[in-house]
Structure formats: C-alpha cells, structure tokens
Structure 1
Amino acid sequence: MKYQKLIPFILLPFVPLAIAADYLHWGDTAIFITSAIAIIPVSIWLSTAVEKVAVFTGAVVGGLVTALFANATELIIALTALRQGLVDIVEASITGSVLGALLLLLGLGMFTGGLRYKEQTFKPIVARVNGSFMTLAAIALGLPTTVIATSNIVDEIAIRDISVIVSTILIAVYGLTLVFSLGTHSYLYEVGLSDAEEDGETTKSSTTLWLWITVLLVSTVAIAILSDLFVSVIEPETTRLGLTPLFTGVILIPLLSDVAGYVTVIRLSMKNKMDLAVSSVTGDSLLVASFVAPILVLVGQFIGQPITLNFNPFEVIAIAIAVTVANLISFGGRSNWLDGILLIATYMILGVAFYYHPA
C-alpha cells in the first residue's frame, strides 16, 4: 500500500482521541492538537470519496460534485468559526486559502514533480483560462477594500451592501465557469484520467458508488464535529502561542483544511500528471475566491455574524502578488523544481510578513 493511502489509517486514532479530550476535559491544548490532527485523515477520505463519486457519475454530475465538495473541509471550518463569532479569522482564511492554493500547493506540486522529472509539461490553455477567471475574482475581492480605502465610506450598511452585491456577482460568474468547463467548452478541460480511472475503477457498480457516497457523507459529518471542537479552542490557544487572528486565518487554518489537496497534488505531480495537478490547483483557488468567499459573506449576513469583503489592504496586495506570480509561472505550460521553489519562497516570505503584521 502506498504511503499516501497509509496516512489516514495512521492518524485515524486521533478522531476518538479528540472526542475523548473534549468529553473528559483534558484541556484546551489537548483538544486543539488532537482535533487538528484528526481533521487530516477525515479530509483525505472526503477528498478521495469526491474523486471516486466523480468517476462513477460522469463528467457533468461528477464535476458538480467536485465543485460542491472539493473545499468542504475549508468551508465547514470557516462556517463553524463564523457561527462562533470569529469573523476576523474567517475573513483572513479567505486570503490564506487563495495564497495557499496558488503559491504553496502549486509550488509543492512543481517542486516534487521536478525532483523526479527534469521538466514537466501541461496544457497551458487550462492555466490561462482559469488564471483569467482567477484574476477577475481577485479584482472583485479587492475592489470593496479599494473603494473604502480611497473614499469616505465608513457606513457599515454601505460596506455590507457592496460586499453582498460583489458576492452575488462572483457566485453567478462561478456558475458560468461551470457551464463553460462542463458544457460548452468541456474539451479544453480534458486533461487526462484521474487516479481511479487509471487504476481501472470505472465499473459502474451501484454498490461501490453508494459505498463512496456513504464515505462522503460520513466524512462531512465527522469534519463538522471535529471542526466544532477545533474552533472552540482556537482563539485561546493561538493567543497563548502569540499568533494574531490575521496570521491564524491566513496561514494556520488553510494549512490544516487543505491537507488533502497537498496529498493529491503531490501524488499527481510525482506521477507526471501535471495537467491534472495544475487543473486541480487553479480550480481550487477559483472555487475559494468566487464561491466559498461569497457564500461566507451571504451566510454571515443571514446568521447575524456579518462578514464583508473589506479586507486588510495588505491581504489585497498579497492576493495580487499570488495571482501575478502563479500566472507568470504557469502560463508557459512547463515547470521544473526551481519554479516550485520560487512559488514556495513567495509563500514563505508572505507568511513571515503576516506573522509580523500587527493586524
């Protein structure tokens, strides 16, 4: 069994440990550590289940399943934090997820793949199309901050209205990208076989399909439970560690919530399947910017925990840097280990800046 498949089983005991730590009152630190580790194997199973269901249900339905559940871990953690009033951390996590996908995730893929292969190629059309959509989404996310910073708008209602309108437009645009990628221009996204298809798991067995649907649902519920435990202690524990809400949201939470993405992209890159790896990364960042972020804004208004797109100006600058660097490196359709290092180094530099940022 490959080491990637062993990770969930090795970390599985932390799931009952996290529940026991809360039930038996072992303290905030024990709950924080065990629940954070427990989220990792469950999120990997969730990601695997999404991939398997997508194979069985075909391109259109599978694409919709992927669109809805690809970032389920991140969305659940963010919604849990939002429900508990941690608005600052949730806002920062939006920025962190975009930075993590475009810089760290893509960088790790190019670096690990580049260690095995001197140079890897992928269809630049996928990177260009998703990169164009991502640029639009980044501009949309940054505009409310720019408007507020360059005017006298301080009224909370005006800020909320701008955020809601922009969020609605972004969700509509994301819906159109699904029509584009799954319907009218699906041929542009035919980037190869998934791991499941490559391994011959294409038999349309209803029993197998329902098994993976069950895994998908159970994993989602488990992540909701573990996220509640993790978020309940994240504020006192990060404060004890000297971490600001900005750093916690931008760096800590995305690193935890997208572990499955790191495993998947590294696995694909090591198999020299960079078409799938790049498509996964660019699709992940687009999903966060044009769907997850707007959903958080709209849900926040509905549950009485208003979150807006009025980010810290440095967050807007960081997103612009990430989009620019990722586009410059990926638009050529070729990558090597040095490209990966450049992306990772950019992420690390921004991470240091966020750590020292007074927020």
Structure 2
Amino acid sequence: MKQKLFYSLVVFFTALSAWAHYFTHSSGLQFTTAAAAIIVLAALLGKATESVSHYAGERVGGFLNATFGNAAELIIAIFLIKEGLFDMVKASITGSIIGNLLLVLGLSVIAGGIKFKQQRFNALLAGHNSSLMLLAVISLFIPAVFMRQLNVPHINQLSLMISGLLIVSYILWLIFSMITHKDVLSDENASDEEEGAIWSKGVSVLILLVATVFVAITSEWLVHSIEAVAKSLGWSEIFVGAFVIAIVGNAAEHSAAIFLAMKNKIGASVEIAVGSSLQIALFVAPTLVFVSLFFGNQMDLVFTSYELAAIGVATFIASSIARDGSTNWYEGILLVVVYIILGTAFYFI
C-alpha cells in the first residue's frame, strides 16, 4: 500500500510539474512543482540505489547512491552553465559540499544516535576521506589566492589544470578504495541485519536510469524559473545556489543516508554523505569546468571568500567528528548547528 502511494506521488508531482511548465506563466508555481518533482524522483533514485546495493554490496551501493544522488545536481548545474549563471553553479557546488558534510551527515548521526547509543564505522576510511576533503579545499583555495596576480587566460588555464588533476585523483581513489584496498577499508562494524531488495537487479537498474532521465527533464524546468523566483523573493544567487538548489538536488542522499543510519548502518550513511561531498569536490566541479568549454565560455574555479570559508569550516568540523570512527547523536547536533549558522550568514549576503 505504501509503495503504491509513493509511486502515485512520483507520477502526480512529475505530471503537475509538466503542466505548470507548459500551461502556466507563474514562475513561482513552476519552481515549486519542479522542486517537488525532483525531490520525489530523487527519493525513487534512493530506493533504486538501495536495491542495487543489495546485489552489489554496501560500499558500491553507497557509491551508486552518491553518484545518482548527485546526478540531479550535475544536470541542474549543466543547464545553469548553459545560461551563463556561473556564480549560481559555484554556489550550488558549495551548498552541496556543506549540505552533505553538515546536514545529511548530521541528520543521519542524530537519527542513528537516538536509536543506538554509539555507532561505529571504519576509522581508516574516515581518515582517508578527511585527507581527500583537505585536498579539495586546497585546490579551491589556490585559484582564489592567485586571482589578483594572474590574468583571465592564466586563471582559466590554472582552473583546467587543477580540474584535470582532481578528476585523476578521484579516479585513483576509486581504484584504491574499491579494488586494491577494498578489504582494508571495508566496514567491519556493519550491521548483520539484511533485508531483501525491493526489486530485482534488472528492474532496479532500469528504474535508476528512468528516474535519472526524468530528473534531467524536471531540472531544466527548475532552472528556467529559478531566476525570476530569486528576484521576486529578494534572494541572492549565492543563497539560492548554496541552499535552495543544494537541498533539492541532494534529496536522494538525505533520505537514504538517514534511513540507513536508523538501521545501524552508519558506515553506509557516512559513505553516502562524505562520499557525495568528495564526488562533488573532486569530480563534479572539475567536470563542469570542462563542460563549460562546450558552451564557448569557460567557468573557472575561483570561488568567493564566503564559499571557501563555508567549505573549510564544514570540512574541519566533519573531519573532527568522523576521524575516530564512532558517532553519537550529540555530534550530529553540532553538525546541524554549524549548517544553520552558515545558512543564516548566506541569507544575509
């Protein structure tokens, strides 16, 4: 019964978003319905990736959840690049990183910590994740520092070089963590409870692909209405990108990570939340730099001081909390509080 209701909601909000886009001229209605459609489609993505992880394993499942969860944001960002809204793209990258490190991880730790006094996961993996996030912070920090000393062509060349290195680093990390050191980084604290998959392997993959296609379509509708909505509400591009788009785009990670933590699978939750941030910083952001070349106007990697400060703060506290390989509900509260502080500061910019 619950499954039928969920499928009905997916169809209803997707159809409602299509109607608003093609038959109304209200940007507010178009934005609201598109956001609602993306959220329910992202939830469908989350269910499909959780079903796939039943066949592929917890770590691969976490990676797939992060990847397809980020698909919505990547698609939205590509359409924003096409419109030349580079500042909003960078803000959405910032929002995605801090949203996953603070909000998704924080809510997961709270949800799991309320049910279980202490939850443990692989501390070695947490240490590697922290080092990779520091690499991302350094890579985004360098272009901003040297911006005043370099002209635009050199900044663009530096951005391309850094982007290429980050993509290579991320691919090598996948080889290291999932092939050469797979056993070392496995979660020995994972729960033994196992539930059956919702769908068969073939159906799970098919739903994954179909949901991604519909996310792409509704994302384009969202982008077409977002500028008008932001102006009417008096919101800055940086706030819309860093919080509104990021929360909508990360809906899949939010739901999947929290539910897994409540099943005492905090390792999988950390894999989704931190892994998603790593994927955004080391793969999605650099890829968008190369994608922008196809539209004839290259996006650089020069982020504002506000964005760099937010990413640095999120990385610092998330690393401090996760390094010991254990969590409790109060640590989740700390992460969410920092997220609210940053959100308030961005709102007033």
Please confirm whether the aligned pair reaches a TM-score higher than 0.5, indicating the same fold. Answer: yes
Question: Structure 2: 5+ residue runs without aligned partners?
Answer: none
Contact 2:112–2:263 at 8 Å: present in 1 too? yes
Is 1:243 the equivalent of 2:243? Answer: no
- 1:152 aligned onto 2:144: no
- Return the offset for 1:169: 0.2
Alpha carbons of structure 1 residues 321 and 62: separation in structure 2 relative to 1, 3 Å:
closer
Aligned to 1:167: 163
Alpha carbons of structure 1 residues 292 and 121: separation in structure 2 relative to 1, 3 Å: same
Q: Deviations over 1:212-261 (max 9, x none)?
A: 22212211110111011110010010111111001111111110011111
Give 1:304 deviation, angstroms.
1.9
* TM-fit CA distance, 1:62: 6.5
More off after superposition, 287-296 vs 24-33: 24-33
* Kept in 2: contact 1:126–1:279 (CA 8 A): no
Mapped contact 1:11–1:37 kept (Cα < 8 A):
no
Identity of aligned residues (%): 39
Unaligned runs of at least 5 residues, structure 1? none
Provide the secondary structure at the position in 2 that maps to 1:189. coil
User: 316-325 or 11-20: which moved more?
Assistant: 11-20
TM-superposed CA distance for 1:350, in Å, is 0.8
- The count of corresponding residues between Structure 1 and Structure 2 is 349
- CA distance, structure 2, for counterparts of residue 58 and residue 214 of structure 1: 18
The residue that corresponds to 1:36 in the other structure is 35
Indicate if the aligned counterparts of 2:65 and 2:272 stay in contact, CA closer than 8 A.
no
Give the superposition deviation at 1:34: 0.6
1:187 maps onto 2:186 in alignment:
no
Are 1:102 and 1:323, in contact at CA under 8 Å, matched by a contact in 2?
A: yes
> Would the aligned equivalents of 1:94 and 1:293 in 2 still touch at CA under 8 Å?
yes
Q: Which amino acid aligns with 2:149?
A: N
State the Cα distance separating 1:11 from its structure 2 match.
Answer: 5.0
Alignment of 1:17-28 (within 5 A): 17-28=16-27
- Do the aligned partners of 1:170 and 1:294 also contact (CA within 8 Å) in 2? yes
Question: Equivalent residue for 1:131?
Answer: 130
Partner of 2:183, secondary structure, is helix
Q: Which runs of 4+ in 1 moved over 4 A?
A: 5-9, 57-68, 192-195
CA, structure 1 residues 57+268, in 2 after alignment: closer, same or farther (shift >3 Å)? closer
Distance 2:331 2:243 in 1: 21
Q: 1:72 to 1:193 in 2, by over 3 A?
A: farther
Q: CA deviation at 1:200?
A: 3.2
Letter in 1 for 2:159: S
- Select 2:246's aligned residue among 254, 258, 261: 254
Aligned counterpart, 1:332: 324
Q: Deviations over 1:113-167 (max 9, x none)?
A: 122222222221221111111111221122111221xx422x2111111111000
Q: 1:144 touches 1:310 (CA, 8 Å); kept in 2?
A: yes
What's the CA shift string for 1:155-204, capped at 9, x where partnerless? 21111111110000000000000100111100133227999x921349xx
1 CA distance for matches of 2:40 and 2:246?
15
**Aligned twin of 2:173:** 177
Give, in angstroms, the shift of residue 268 of structure 1.
1.2
| Change beyond 3 A, Cα 1:321–1:61 | closer
